[in-house]
Structure 1
């Protein structure tokens, strides 16, 4: 048995879904560019060491998703719009988070005014006296890309309940002069979609997801915002500037040129 066939055996996911996942990644990563012709069925059959019917099923999945298009007598091509459908850039600092959310309009699923407290770890600050829980789905170009479960401190929610119902909570918090923030952090993990998430995000049960746990702590040490956000994995692109937090004087010359940086900005918010 080849190494590839052994790899298939390690998963309970049907073969055609495993093959479709690899092809989807090639499109999303740009290995197969928009408008480009993909490998033939014969070539894919040999590459993946699977039956022709398995390859056809995998290709059909991506055609149904709009990522591939079959042209009579010419072959199968990457859709010209497929690479632009997804890829939500995941922000990595406070200012970029706020900028990315300013025009976002969440579609509310439910608001629970008598929610229990969120689960906090030791670094997540202290619990507020009470919380309001808000659930919503975020969309891009009419495609759902994330589900948000948010615990918001009641005293913060009561400052502007109407705004919190129609706008992104972090943007609303950032605009409040009454609140001073001490800390904000986010942790990412890889998960898989259960039945409810799969239905809301229009993906298959068990499909990979990116799960973000975001906590905002005020100057009193209270966790005023505790958000658990589940992203469909094919919507996320994470890019981090590895030198962004390095002081300018510590940056080493590269190729004979001295690194030049901008002066740091001070923020009263975070």
Structure 2
């Protein structure tokens, strides 16, 4: 709950609802407005303070000290160079790793499947706030060749781009709006049914074999798509 509260407080500062250099509502007022406990409000305010957005002064209250640079923590890359050239300031928490026969639902129907795949699951965080979950499937032999490097990178496709024998033959991306299921809601500190953005990526080698597929699920309030139209 504190993550949702932090995001709401941050948005109020960004939108000017809580003006710069002004005192924000008291702890008790925030507790009553959002129907949460004192510890939850304190935690959310502490995260704002750690980001330099508010300052708490004994006997005076909590004041807005700065506006956030952006409320967007993930701008979805719209081409290969943007994706593989990104250097995100994020934390990665690896949750699962196991072998499976194939990705559960390949979105690239024309791809030939490999012998087996390594399934990886991770959670993406920034400022200790979880904002994304990544489900990644890497062809078994490709993973065996440089799997350790994949685990060390926040963007596994950067390793694939640099080291895949013969290079990447084809890559595609699909973006769609969805809602959080129970597991996603738990991992991203959301309510079930909250809006999320799903990003699916498929990468084939020059023989048409699916060597990589991923499903990223991101909080709808921390993501944007930007495209130059002309």
TM-score (normalised: structure 2): 0.71
Match of 1:162 among 148, 153, 156: 148
Matches within 5 A, 1:9-158: 24=8, 27=11, 31-32=15-16, 35-36=19-20, 57=33, 65-66=44-45, 80=66, 84=70, 86-101=72-87, 106-123=92-109, 125-158=111-144
Native 8 Å contact 1:144 1:201 kept in 2: yes
- Give the secondary-structure state (helix, strand or coil) at the position aligned to 1:205: coil
- Give the secondary-structure state (helix, strand or coil) at the position aligned to 2:149: helix
Residues 177 and 121 of structure 1, relative CA distance in 2, 3 Å threshold: closer
Residues 196 and 77 of structure 1, relative CA distance in 2, 3 Å threshold: farther
Aligned equivalent of 2:188: 201
Consecutive unaligned residues of structure 2, counting only runs of 5 or more, are none
Aligned equivalent of 1:184: 171
Residues 218 and 25 of structure 1, relative CA distance in 2, 3 Å threshold: farther
Return the offset for 1:112. Answer: 0.6
Question: Which is greater in Rg?
Answer: 1
How far apart in 1 are the matches of 2:99 and 2:64? 47
How far apart in 2 are the matches of 1:176 and 1:103? 23
Q: What CA RMSD, in Å, does the superposition of the two structures yield over aligned residues? A: 3.9
Question: How many residue pairs align between the two structures?
Answer: 211
Consecutive unaligned residues of structure 1, counting only runs of 5 or more, are 1-19, 42-52, 244-270
How far apart in 1 are the matches of 2:17 and 2:206? 48
How far apart in 1 are the matches of 2:83 and 2:12? 23
Aligned equivalent of 1:7: none
Larger RCO of the pair (alpha carbons < 8 Å, separation 6+): 2
Native 8 Å contact 2:178 2:196 kept in 1: yes
Residues 152 and 122 of structure 1, relative CA distance in 2, 3 Å threshold: closer
Residues 199 and 155 of structure 1, relative CA distance in 2, 3 Å threshold: same
Residues 177 and 149 of structure 1, relative CA distance in 2, 3 Å threshold: closer
